[in-house]
Each structure stands twice: as structure tokens, then as C-alpha cells.
Copies of this chain bind each other. A is one copy, B any other.
Amino acid sequence: MIALATQNGLFAIVARELAAVEECLRAPAAERGALLATVAHYALGSGGKRLRPALLLLSARACGGENGDGATRSIRLASAAEMMHAASLLHDDVLDHAATRRGQPSAMARWGSDVSVLAGDFLYARAIQDLVADQDRRILRTFADAAVAMTEAEVLQLQRLHDLQITEGEYLRIVTGKTAALISAACRSGALVAGASDAVAAQLADFGLHLGIGFQLVDDALDYSAREDRVGKPVGSDFREGKVTFPILHLRRVATAGHRRLLEELAVCTDPSPEDLQVLRDLVDRYGAVSATMQLVAEYLDRARAELAVLPESPACQALHRVVDFVRERDS
């Protein structure tokens, strides 16, 4: 439903190109052996918002790039960006032992961790193959840098599981690497494919970076505030997996000494009970941890919006502004 809403509304201006991206995403599934085809198709098709492809296409258009058949390069790059994203989700689900993804059983749950690791490797390698076909080496470098940032962030996240001493700087490095880096790469690549200057491309990259940080912060807030039937995973999942996110950092800062001790006890618990999670949610409510997170979101999204000032007025530029609003207002 989200996918439909965003594609018919928010991304309407690049709807034709997004349809072509869907075609590209069917290719790796069609050309391979049965199992890899099935898993790749499942991982690429399970209700994603296609945010990264859409941002790449909108960035290209906003920088004067062509549309429709003239957008062949952007379409292929947009598809590669989504493959990299799907590859990272496949590996994430292995690391998180996640049973569900977007309300469906995860590939991990359906085919096991071995197949998920390999399907992730495959989609990542296929993305690189598509990126290599592009003539602009700066674009490939952009995505390669994002891939390195993503794995570094995942490792840092792994190292800081159940660690209430994580600094805000470390938390933001994790958020930036695991989510914002690829979104930023998509925006920069869109600008580059449209022939924008390096300076404009850098501003689009910053737009994507701040938008991506905001996007992940909203995710982290929704983990404590959303309804399970909307986000497709149980509320409090992050905490259960040991991920100390911004709402908890807020609690740590503002709670009384007694509540901080309670928080520390809960944080080291690797298998919190429903009662433990209720205690946590009560603390989150009492100290306004979700709205504190959304305040930080607003700061990042304002910064993202400011970067768009470099662009001339256009429908694509307006669409990018609306994506910022969408990130702020999304509830799943």
C-alpha cells in the first residue's frame, strides 16, 4: 500500500522510469538458476518503496536530465541502487535473525541464512556489473564508497549491541552508514548522470545524506511508536535486538538516576519479557523520547531541504521537497 501510494503520488513524475526500473529488477531473477531467481525476486519484490531508485531519477530530472527513453542510464543505475539495497537487507536479516521483513516472512526465515548470504552476495555483484556498464567512473566510485560505509556501520552496530555507553557520535555514524550513505549515493549519481557540476552533485549528495539520516531516525522512532500492523514487525524490535537508538539515548540523557539504572538493566537483557518491554515503553512515553527524536529529524530534514536551494524551480525539484515531507510524516 505504501508502495502504491508513493508511486502514484509522490513519484508520479518519474512513474514511467520507475516502471522501467521494475523491468530491470526482474532481469537478475529471470536469467539465473531456479533458487537464486526465486530468492532474488522475493528480495527485490517484497513491497519496497523504491525510495532509492525514485530519488536517483528525481535528482537526475531536477538537474536537467532527460526522461522516458532518454533516461536509460538513470534507469539502469536506479535499478542497481535498489539491488544494492536489497542485498544489504538480505544480509541484515541474517545478522538480526529477522523472521519478518515488511510484514512478510524474511528470506532468512523462508530459505535459511546460507541462501540469504549468497543471494545478498549475488545481488550486490549484479549491481556492480550494472554499475560497471556506466561510462562515468565517478558514479561507480560513489556506490563503492557507499558499500564500504554500509558494512563499516553494520560492524559498529554489531559491536555496540546492548551497549548503553554508545556515544551519540557513534550512533549517528551507524545511522549515516547503514541508511544515509546509499540514499546519498543515489542522489549524487542522479545529479552526475544529468551532467551536473561536481559542486551541484555534492549538494545533492548532502541532500541525500541528511534525508537518509532523517529517514533512519524516523524508523528508530517508529520502533517505539508505530502499530505493529503498519511497520510489519513487532514494536520494540530494535531494543530486543540490542540496538540502542536515539529514543534510548534521549532517555539516558534526561531520565532520573533510578530510571537510568532501570534502563541499564533492561539494555543488557538479551531476551526481554513483554513486561520488560512495557516498562521501556512507559519510560519512552514519560520522557517524550519519540518527540525528542522527531525534533532531531526535523533538524536533519531542514538541512536536506536547504541543499535543494541549489536547484532551479521544476516539478522534479518540487517532488524532492515532497519526499522530505513524506519522510517527516510517514507512519510506517
Please list the residues of chain A having a beta carbon within 8 angstroms of any beta carbon in chain B.
Answer: 32-33, 35-36, 91, 94-95, 113-115, 117-122, 124-126, 128-129, 132-133, 137, 140-141, 144-145, 147-148, 150-152, 154-156, 158-159
Chain A interface mostly helix, strand, loop or mixed?
Answer: helix
Contact, CB under 8 Å: A148 / B129: yes
A158 touches B122 (CB 8 A): no
Cβ B36 vs Cβ A118 within 8 A: no
Distance (Å) between the CB of A129 and the closest chain B CB? 5
Known: A125-B144, A132-B137. A152 touches B114 (CB 8 A): no
CB distance from A307 to the nearest CB of B (A): 25
Residue pair B137, A114 in contact (C-beta under 8 Å): no
Question: How many angstroms between the C-alpha atoms of A95 and B111 in the bound complex?
Answer: 13
Select A118's contact among B95, B115, B124, B133, beta carbons within 8 Å: B95
Report, nearest first, the 9 A-B pairs whose CB atoms are least far apart.
Answer: A125-B147, A122-B151, A121-B151, A125-B148, A129-B144, A128-B144, A132-B141, A95-B114, A36-B155
Using known A-B contacts A117-B91, A117-B95, A137-B137, determine if residue A132 contacts B144 with beta carbons closer than 8 Å.
yes
Closest beta carbon of chain B to A289's beta carbon, Å: 27
B158 touching A118, Cβ below 8 Å: yes
**Copies of this polypeptide in the complex:** 2
Return the contact of A33 from the options B118, B140, B145, B155 (Cβ within 8 A): B155
Q: Are A125 and B140 within 8 A (Cβ)?
A: no
- 13 further A-B pairs in the complex, CB-CB below 8 A; given A36-B155, A117-B117: A36-B151, A36-B152, A95-B117, A122-B152, A124-B124, A125-B147, A125-B150, A128-B144, A129-B148, A132-B140, A132-B141, A132-B144, A140-B140
Interface pair B117/A94, CB less than 8 Å apart = yes
Partner of A147, one of B119, B128, B137: B128
Using Cβ atoms and an 8 Å threshold, which residues of chain B touch A91?
A: 117-118, 121
Q: A121-B91, A129-B141 are in contact. Are A115 and B155 (CB under 8 A)?
A: yes
**A254–B132 CA distance with the chains assembled, in angstroms:** 46
CA gap between A114 and B154 in the complex, in Å: 10
Give CA–CA (A95, B120) in the complex, Å. Answer: 13
22 interchain pairs, CB-CB under 8 A: A32-B152, A33-B156, A35-B155, A36-B155, A91-B118, A94-B117, A113-B113, A115-B155, A118-B151, A118-B154, A118-B158, A119-B155, A121-B124, A121-B150, A122-B148, A125-B148, A125-B150, A126-B148, A128-B147, A129-B148, A132-B137, A133-B141
Query: Are B144 and A114 in touch, CB under 8 angstroms?
Result: no
A89 to nearest B CB, angstroms? 13
- A295 to chain B minimum Cβ distance, whole angstroms, is 29
Separation of A158 and B158 alpha carbons in the complex (Å): 27
A242 to chain B, nearest CB (A): 12
Give chain B residues whose Cβ lies under 8 Å from the Cβ of A33.
152, 155-156, 159
Q: Which residues of B contact A121 (CB under 8 A)?
A: 91, 120, 124, 147, 150-151, 154
> Which of these, B35, B122, B126, B156, contacts A159 with CB under 8 Å?
B35
